[in-house]
Amino acid sequence: MRCAVGTCSKADPGRVLHENMTIRPKILIMIALPLAVFFVSLFIGRLVIDPVTLIKVLGVKLLHLPIEKDWNQAVEIVVIRIRLPRAIMAMMVGAGLSISGAAFQGMFNNPLVSPYLLGVSSGAGFGAALGIILGAGAGLIQVSSFGFGILAVVLTYLTSRVYKTTPLLMLVLSGVIVSSLFMSLISLIKFVADPDEKLPTIVFWIMGSFGSTRLEDLFLTFWPMAIGVTGLLMVRWRINLMSMGDREAKAMGTRVELLKGIIIFCTTLISAAAVSVCGIIGWVGLVIPHICRMWVGPDHRALLPTTIMVGASYLLVIDNIARTLTSSEIPLGILTSIIGAPFFAYLLRRSKGIFN
Amino acid sequence: MNASNTMICIENAAFAYGRQMVWQDLNLEVRKGDLMCLLGANGCGKTTLLNCLHGDLRLASGQISIEGTPIHTLPALDIARTIGVVFQEYATSFPYTVLDVVLMGRGPHLSMFSSPTREDRDIALSCLKNLGVLKLRDKKFTRISGGEKQLVLIARTLCQKPRIILMDEPTASLDFKNQALVLGMIRKLTDLGLTIIMTSHFPNHALLCADRVALMNDHTLVDSGDTRTIMTESNLKKTYDIDVRILSVNDPPNQEMIKFCMPSIRPDDLGDFSKDVC
């Protein structure tokens, strides 16, 4: 059909200006928020570091600036070897889980879905528990956890496949099956584990913590996260179509099975990497997409980048609370929901259940 | 008839869900620029036929050709570029804006990894404009009225730039005015050279705007052809299994006879209530 393209684009300049004026402050907040949280988290903690020293240390160690060293060696170690890797890891995991949750919620057209839907967390938890009971070192536990996380999702995917398609309901049900299978295997390992030494290790591992994050861990986690996040960002507009249901998405020229495969592949890389370094952190992947949807609307083109920024900030704030609130560290998995649940309830009440 | 004029050709088609046969011996031809209305009782397989026509379901036997090419040999992307579909149900949980919904129609023209460009956005806006719903662009799709939704979904399908449009009960659950508005808009689309197949539960809608009609009952086509010759009392009785009266009246403003039909159901024909009903 002939469209009067000219007449429409004429009205555009004013329109675009208006849109930019409402979008620009949001983009500024999105960039400023994680940066601010990041810097704050580097100087709070048991060893209080003043901001000026912090900037100097970062300048010397990261940018190799020629500044005279007038601080204690301990400050340098705390900032560079402990707080920096931990903050970066928390941000990566928060961002990854949030974008995965948003992508899954779009794909399943269901706002109640979390990134762990297809069993990645129970698989990864099992992998870690297995590693711990066999006495493996930290690196091997991480690899085993990552591998079993992926394996669980592969099992789910194969179980749900019928007639060369993977209907969403079949995926959900297969996810339930595989999750409960690995959950019972975790229980089995806990049951046979030595109750004085190995059992508490398994329990605390699953509850989640960034306490043991080292600088070297970052690179191992970075790659699966980067691949997954990039993949999801690339297909983010297609997720809009996917959320119309398989049939409509297909009628609008979407290769539905390929898209499902890409989304599952990316979210699995991200969440397996996340669980393998910091245990099963719930809630983030479920709630951050909601909060972002209230803020920027349901269009996944805007939603996915927003979840990265907000998710990274949220988990870092939670981790800062986890390590500073009491003298011993509180497991993250507990805090994410103790703080997140009332906050989300407040938002839900205020919006009266109407999102955006 | 000129063969190159045939947009859709259905030959000896049969469809079954598992062992349950839905329809068979179905032969139908749709020409370029036709507005064809598919009528039939609930559950006779109208929607199933539409879903076969855009390649979502496969026939048990027989063949469907789109512009001369058998549909099962066409890649899905080519089908999406040729055929747009306006579905009856709209089931997303997310309150997209009207413009975002219409933009989705650009799907067949963009790669898996790209997002709509400014040009796509202009196309979407002009489609909204053509259907007279440009002012809704920033409204939430979930908050607009049923008639507006239908016009927006038609705009989305136009955004796909198809040559054929399939519509599943475009007037379902619309009020009197919106039914007329949507039907008028559909009629206007054929003036642009689009070929349209729509299903309906209202024979009057076929009489009002369709060039051609196909009637379905008893697992096959009762009859198909030009509206004026096919819409007879006996054909409608065969389609709906009730008596139907077709009335003609002179419509002075348009200087022509218009036809409409009425079911004739007498309460006496429906049997007696048993005494314990009330």
Residue A22's pLDDT is what?
63
**pLDDT score at A347:** 75
Answer whether B192 sits within 8 Å of A250, measured CB to CB: no
A275-334 residue pLDDT tens: 999 889 988 998 899 889 988 999 999 999 999 999 999 999 999 998 888 878 888 888
Cα–Cα distance, A252 to B124 (Å, whole number):
14
Q: Is A334 domain-assigned? A: yes
Would A145 be classed as within a structural domain? Answer: yes
On chain B, the residues whose CB falls within 8 A of the CB of A247 are 51, 56, 87
Nearest CA in chain A to B112: A235
The pLDDT value given to residue A352: 66
pLDDT tens figures, B251-262? 777 777 888 888
Query: A17 in a domain, yes or no?
Result: no
Q: Which two tokens stand for residue B212?
A: 């051609």
Q: What is the mean pLDDT of residues A188-197?
A: 91
Do B93 and A298 form a contact (C-beta atoms < 8 A)?
Answer: no
Asked whether residue A203 is assigned to any structural domain, the reply reads yes
**A contacts of B81 (beta carbons < 8 Å):** 253
Q: How far is CA B276 from the centre of its chain?
A: 43
pTM score, whole prediction:
0.88
CB contacts < 8 A, A to B, total 114
Identify the pLDDT of residue A194: 87
Q: Which of B191, A1, B155, B204 is nearest to B147 (CA)?
A: B155
CATH no. for residue A52?
Answer: 1.10.3470.10
- Decide: residue A304, CB within 10 A, 0-12 exposed, 13-18 middle, 19+ buried: buried
Q: Which of B85, B89, B94 to mutate to test the interface with A (most CBs of A within 10 A)?
A: B94
Indicate the SS3 state at residue A196.
Answer: coil
Contact between B105 and B160 (Cβ < 8 Å)? yes
| B273/A contact by beta carbon, under 8 A | no
- Cα separation, A199 vs A209, in Å, equals 16
pLDDT digits (tens, 9 = 90+) for B226-247: 988 999 899 999 898 888 999 8
Tell me the per-residue pLDDT of B163-186, one tens digit each, with 9 for 90 and over. 999 999 999 888 899 899 999 999
Residue found under tokens 């699953």:
A206
Verify whether the Cβ–Cβ distance A255 to B81 is below 8 Å: no
Report CA-CA distances (Å) from B24 to A301, B69, B201: 45, 21, 21
Mind listing the pLDDT tens digit for each residue in B46-96?
999 999 999 999 999 999 999 999 999 999 999 999 999 999 877 777 889
Instruction: Please check whether residue A92 lies inside any domain of the structure.
Output: yes
Give the closest-approach CA distance of A71 to chain B in angstroms: 49
**Percent of chain B surpassing pLDDT 90:** 59
- In the stretch 51-110 of chain B, residues with CB closer than 8 A to chain A read 51, 54, 56, 76-77, 80-81, 83-85, 87, 90-97, 100, 104-105, 107-110
The residue with tokens 């986890």 is A322
- How distant, in Å, are the alpha carbons of B203, B204, B244 from that of B263? 10, 11, 4
Residues 6+ apart with CB under 8 A from B229: none
pLDDT at B278: 65
Looking at the structure of chain A, the number of domains it has is 1
Mean pLDDT, chain B, integer: 89
- Tens of pLDDT, residue by residue over A37-89, are 998 898 888 887 888 888 888 888 878 878 877 778 888 888 888 889 999 99
Q: Is A253 within the bounds of a domain?
A: yes
Question: What pLDDT, on a 0 to 100 scale, did the predictor assign at position A154?
Answer: 96
Task: Give the domain extent around A86.
Answer: 39-349
Alpha-carbon torsion (B128, B133, B136, B142), positive or negative:
negative
Decide: A245 and B91 in contact? Cβ < 8 Å: yes
Does A111 fall in a domain? yes
Torsion of CA A26, A27, A32, A38, to 10 degrees: 110
**pLDDT of A353:** 58
Using the beta-carbon criterion (under 8 Å), do B95 and A356 form an inter-chain contact?
A: yes
To the nearest whole Å, the CA of B219 is away from the closest chain A CA by 24
Q: Which residue has the higher pLDDT, A159 or A9?
A: A159
Residue A4 belongs to some domain of the structure: no
Task: Report the chain A residue with the minimal C-alpha distance to residue B88.
Answer: A248
Task: Indicate the residue of A109, A252, A355 with minimum beta-carbon distance to B92.
Answer: A109
Tell me: pLDDT of B4 over 80: no
Residue scoring higher pLDDT (B211 or A214) = B211
Residue A14 has pLDDT above 50, yes or no: no
Q: What pLDDT was estimated at residue A13? A: 43
